[in-house]
Structure 1
Amino acid sequence: MPDNETGIQLLIKTILIELQQETAPFNIKVQSDIPSERGMGSSAATAIAITRALFHFFEQPLSHSELLRLADVSEQYIHGNPSGLDAATVSAKAPIWFVRGRRLQTVPIAQNGFLVIADTGILGQTGLAVKHVKNQLASSPDAETAIEMLGENAKFARKCLTTGDFKTLGDLMNSSQSFLAKLGVSHPTLDLFAQLANANGALGAKLTGGGMGGCLIALTQDIATAQKVATILTKNGAVKTWIEPLKSTDHKGVQDGNSSCTH
């Protein structure tokens, strides 16, 4: 495997050892439409898919907690000390509320909308962003305030999703983008994309992932606006855009540690 897949290689070896299948013959072909190093959870999605595939191939049961434990093998190698958010998100069947060290909760969405995802083409720099924020916290009281406000915005955003208040949700996204820019983890291209999205009908827009590159997400009320925003962002440098429905959901989907996973 190529050097940038060493974490996945370690995951496969770990699974084969645990299943006592070190000498079993098989081929794995990974084909992903999720761009890597863009804050989109590409490595976690690959780890979850491979883990499920191998357990299915060897006809072995796989609990949700075991799935996350194994996916963390490659995530630890790739990211050093990941929160577990990416793996938890891509393995869930519904939107989740994630707090490190606490039980996952589902977040029902009360209204339909659309998310426009725009890839800047600039590699995200999570490690650099984390280091930068750490330095900011040590030298500026404004940085601590910004982080506290980002946390409050997240809590209000959860409520907006459950009540269907997408107008306020968009405002919260814009507010969060402003705080992220003040923390120095945005990027001129992300700032431009956010401005263009809002100027063309988006309810709000913000970066996603670690920052300093990667992708922007913009919230729209309808598909026509989403398509307009995607077109504008493409014309202004987005290397790729996706439009994903933000559908109303119920509480079903997050499995406990004893349930089996299917995909």
Structure 2
Amino acid sequence: MTDAVASAQHLFAEQYGRRPAGVWSAPGRVNLIGEHTDYNDGFVFPFAIDRRTTVALGDRDDRVVRVSSTFSPETIEVHLDALTPDAVSGWAAYPLGVVWALGESGADLAHVRGVDLHIDSDVPVGAGLSSSAAIECAVALALDEHWGLGFDRPTLAKIGRLAENRVVGAPTGIMDQSASLLGEADAAVFLDCRSLDTDVIPLGFTEAGLSLLVIDTRVSHAHATGGYAARRASCEAGAAALGAESLREVRVDDLDRARDLLDDETFRRVRHVVTENQRVLDTVRTLREQGPGAIGPLLDASHVSMRDDFEISVPELDLAVETAQANGAIGARMTGGGFGGAAIALVIDDLVPVIARKVVEAFAEHGFREPGVFTVHAAEGARRDA
């Protein structure tokens, strides 16, 4: 039994006065490349990380679902017959939104018994590592197995997205849930967000002596706030003006025409998505043909595009990227939705402590809050642990 499982069982017993029936977990994710392409029917290339959210579950003899967690003093409960998108808010919208989304997706919840859930996590919140999807996917897998619903993992990913879109109110795509449910060790999930076809691609970081360094700026972001939604609306407006169903249909060769048709801001939003899609394809090809040591320029170019064209970076993210690059990183970029969160840097193992120290020093010199700096490894997706 792992420490995380033992802790989950103990915390559940402390909260509810009995042992849980089972324990499930799901990881956060890092998006190696492919930002804001998912809701534009494009390509993304995330991987599950070795930071996980754990859900301990126990049966009830009524139809109430209760949720508690180590990151909130509240215990929230709702009757299954009264669960609607408007019935919950705050952190509980993530797990309870999944319960609602299961019913909306064809699960017959009319005869299931309620459950108690206790959630624990070591995925940093607000860092762009998808702590929200980790909750959604752990809860979705737990309830699917416990209630015998029979959904496959791609469908559970859609259920997590539905919960986040309709109950939480964040207009996100399906990338995060796909990575959390489909991830494998030392591999990333190449996802076509239009067809939802996936291909698990070996990364080869371990064999190449490389680590992925995460620099959590501790500048919190929230997808449900205006900046993310405004970018999505801009992308949709750009696609419509170009006569495209989505920006997936727009190619790099089309950008000269787009410049003539669109205002400057919309054009730059479109240019980011179109070139980022190409960078994802180029990253997968480069990994296969040359190995991970050759993908650095693509990571660097992605950051420039997000900083200048999509305008979702912040000074802390730019400083993290620039400091990593100046001290020997193979490549670096911000990751996640933007407006805060984390940057990532692909680093030779021996340089990890050097770059970590330099980043912390640079933040201190600029008067920024001390960042969290740690390595992550590509890890297995959601699973039952006990």
State TM-score, norm by structure 1. 0.81
Query: 2:165–2:171: 8 Å Cα contact kept in structure 1?
Result: yes
- Relative to its length, the structure with more helix (as a share) is 1
Residue 201 of structure 1 is matched in structure 2 by 328
Query: 1:117–1:215: 8 Å Cα contact kept in structure 2?
Result: yes
In structure 2, the CA distance between the partners of 1:54 and 1:101, relative to structure 1 (3 Å rule), is same
In structure 2, the CA distance between the partners of 1:76 and 1:129, relative to structure 1 (3 Å rule), is closer
**Structure 2 residue matching 1:101: 3-state secondary structure:** coil
2:125 corresponds to which letter in structure 1? S
Residue 341 of structure 2 is matched in structure 1 by 214
In structure 2, the CA distance between the partners of 1:53 and 1:139, relative to structure 1 (3 Å rule), is same
| Corresponding residue to 1:92 among 176, 182, 192 | 182
In structure 2, the CA distance between the partners of 1:211 and 1:27, relative to structure 1 (3 Å rule), is same
| Corresponding residue to 1:161 among 287, 305, 313 | 287
| Corresponding residue to 1:119 among 177, 194, 216 | 216
Q: Which one has more relative contact order, counting CA pairs under 8 Å at least 6 apart?
A: 1
Deviation at 1:27, TM superposition (A): 2.3
In structure 2, the CA distance between the partners of 1:234 and 1:23, relative to structure 1 (3 Å rule), is same
| Corresponding residue to 1:128 among 227, 233, 249 | 227
Larger Rg: 2
In structure 2, the CA distance between the partners of 1:84 and 1:5, relative to structure 1 (3 Å rule), is same
Query: 1:109–1:164: 8 Å Cα contact kept in structure 2?
Result: no
Query: 2:190–2:199: 8 Å Cα contact kept in structure 1?
Result: yes
Deviation at 1:14, TM superposition (A): 5.0
Residue 105 of structure 1 is matched in structure 2 by 199
1:1-263 pair list within 5 angstroms: 1=76, 3-15=90-102, 18-24=108-114, 26-58=115-147, 61-77=150-166, 78-94=168-184, 95-102=188-195, 103-112=197-206, 113-126=210-223, 127-132=226-231, 134=234, 138-140=262-264, 141-183=267-309, 184-222=311-349, 224-235=350-361, 236=363, 237-245=369-377, 262-263=383-384
Deviation at 1:205, TM superposition (A): 0.7
In structure 2, the CA distance between the partners of 1:210 and 1:14, relative to structure 1 (3 Å rule), is closer
Distance 1:143 1:48 in 2: 30
**What are the Cα deviations for residues 114-169 of structure 1, in whole angstroms up to 9, with x where unaligned?**
11111111122544045157289652144433433222222111122223433431
Structure 2, unmatched stretches of 5+, are 1-75, 77-88, 239-261, 364-368
Deviation at 1:226, TM superposition (A): 2.0
Distance 1:101 1:27 in 2: 36
Distance 2:375 2:357 in 1: 11
- Relative to its length, the structure with more strand (as a share) is 2
1:193 corresponds to which letter in structure 2? A
Structure 1, unmatched stretches of 5+, are 248-252, 255-260
**Structure 1 residue matching 2:183: 3-state secondary structure:** coil
- Runs of 4+ in structure 1 over 6 Å off: none
**Structure 2 residue matching 1:30: 3-state secondary structure:** strand
1:105 corresponds to which letter in structure 2? D
The alignment-based identity, stated in percent, is 19
Query: 2:126–2:218: 8 Å Cα contact kept in structure 1?
Result: no
Distance 2:111 2:101 in 1: 10
**Structure 2 residue matching 1:219: 3-state secondary structure:** strand
**Structure 2 residue matching 1:216: 3-state secondary structure:** strand
Name which of structure 1's ranges 78-87 and 134-143 shifts more when overlaid on structure 2: 134-143
Name which of structure 1's ranges 62-71 and 182-191 shifts more when overlaid on structure 2: 62-71
2:152 corresponds to which letter in structure 1? S
Query: 1:115–1:244: 8 Å Cα contact kept in structure 2?
Result: yes
Deviation at 1:173, TM superposition (A): 0.8
Question: How many residues get paired?
Answer: 250
2:203 corresponds to which letter in structure 1? I
